[in-house]
Amino acid sequence: MRTVSNKVKCLLPLLFVTAIGAANAAPLQSEMVNQGHAHEALFAINVSKDGLIAVGGAGQISSSKDGQSWQRVNVELAGRSLLAVSDLNGNAIAVGQQGVIVRRQGEAWLEQTSPTTERLFSVAQDGAGFAIAAGGFGTVLRSIDSGASWEKLAIDWQELIGQPYEPHVYNVTVDELGRAYMAGEFGMIARSDDQGKTWQALHSGDESLFGLALGERGLAYAVGQSGTILRSQDSGESWSKIESGSDAILLDVSIRGDDRAVITGIREALSVAAGSSSATRLDNSQLLTSWYCDVGVFNGEFYVVGQQANVLKLSI
């Protein structure tokens, strides 16, 4: 059965979803470093050498150079939300509802011409001009001029995923070699070695995958529905499921330099230590009574964003 949940589930009333049974709560310290209002939300956070950028509802963009002091602007987008952001070597791109794409030019964020009106859930780039964005109903866009112009890619989904659908693509990332990865419906993980021209399937399954992260030494994680956590130790060539102890919707994952991963979701947060075969729950009331849909690592600390435009720093 095809699922319709997606990373924009953060916009939907899914807070009735509860986690079950995650064992061995992991110790941590938390600090709320930015807090918004009841009807606000941040949907994505990006970490670069210049600091952090988070994006959210109604064109909100919040940035911090140190993780403590935050500055906010609102881009006029006729109410559209920004759902993902990538900042690499000073080139910042954000994407969101109705195919909106904005790019930072100087101090301003300017809307770019988009070839789609579908929601864009994710964006990534390689720092050398190649950028990729993806979203609803098989939408995958490519830029070769650092996000100034975009084209929609034609992908043979039947051949790639063995399904007669155009799957929602929830996450894209680019590795240090410039290879693009995407994850989404039907447990799909795929890779392109030629800037999106052709794709190779790496994994398929039943649960949608919402979060995908590449670490060092070939380590990678993907997370999604029904507490699904997949791990690869060979740069995505093969994947195996590890025990999450949870049935929650898991939305994103990030990997620290010591190979520890933190996973966020709907009323759930988990951690996987280096070499561990199972996840442990991060036993924190702010995490377990709310939702956080994106996570990044800055100066060795994990930063999560979500409900009420909160930015929560986690030390573990």
Distance of alpha carbon 5 from alpha carbon 104, whole angstroms:
30
The first and second tokens of residue 231, run together, are 């791990």
pLDDT above 90 for 19? no
The first and second tokens of residue 162, run together, are 């063995």
Higher pLDDT, 205 or 14: 205
What pLDDT is stored for residue 10 in this prediction?
53
Tracing tokens 């956590």 back to the chain, one arrives at 229
pLDDT category, 185, cuts 50, 70, 90?
very high
Distance of alpha carbon 58 from alpha carbon 70, whole angstroms:
18
What pLDDT is stored for residue 221 in this prediction?
98
Q: Report the percentage of the chain scoring pLDDT > 70.
A: 91
pLDDT above 80 for 11? no
What pLDDT is stored for residue 28 in this prediction?
83
How much is the average pLDDT of 149-176?
96
pLDDT above 60 for 17? no
Domains and CATH numbers, the chain: 7-315 (2.130.10.10)
Single-letter residue type at 268: E
Averaged confidence pLDDT in the chain:
92
C-beta neighbour count of 222 within 10 angstroms: 29
Tens of pLDDT along 103-119?
A: 999 999 999 999 999 99
How much is the average pLDDT of 36-54?
95
How much is the average pLDDT of 228-251?
97
How much is the average pLDDT of 268-272?
96
How deeply is 51 buried, as exposed, middle or buried, from its count of CB atoms within 10 A (0-12, 13-18, 19+)? Answer: middle
pLDDT category, 1, cuts 50, 70, 90?
very low
Tracing tokens 């989404």 back to the chain, one arrives at 184
Q: Whose CA is closest to 305, among 252, 260, 232, 234?
A: 252
pLDDT above 80 for 76? yes
What pLDDT is stored for residue 288 in this prediction?
87
What pLDDT is stored for residue 156 in this prediction?
96
Distance of alpha carbon 84 from alpha carbon 142, whole angstroms:
15
The first and second tokens of residue 289, run together, are 């009574």
CA distances from 276 to 68, 97, 121 (A): 31, 37, 30
Higher pLDDT, 91 or 28: 91
CA distances from 23 to 101, 202, 253, 260 (A): 41, 30, 18, 17
What pLDDT is stored for residue 22 in this prediction?
53
Q: Is the dihedral of CA 214, 3, 140, 9 positive or negative?
A: negative
CA 117 to chain centre: 20
- Taking phi over 0 as left and psi of -120 to 50 as alpha, with beta for the rest, 129 belongs to left
What pLDDT is stored for residue 289 in this prediction?
87
Distance of alpha carbon 219 from alpha carbon 18, whole angstroms:
29
How much is the average pLDDT of 275-287?
92
How much is the average pLDDT of 14-29?
51
Beta bridge mates, 123: 133
What pLDDT is stored for residue 26 in this prediction?
61
Q: Report the percentage of the chain scoring pLDDT > 90.
A: 87
Give the containing element (helix H, strand E) for 285: helix 285-288
CA distances from 78 to 94, 98, 110, 196 (A): 15, 11, 13, 31
CA distances from 287 to 73, 221, 267 (A): 26, 20, 6
What pLDDT is stored for residue 256 in this prediction?
98
pLDDT above 70 for 3? no
CA 315 to chain centre: 20
Cβ atoms of 255 and 234 closer than 8 Å: no
pLDDT above 60 for 18? no
pLDDT above 50 for 13? no
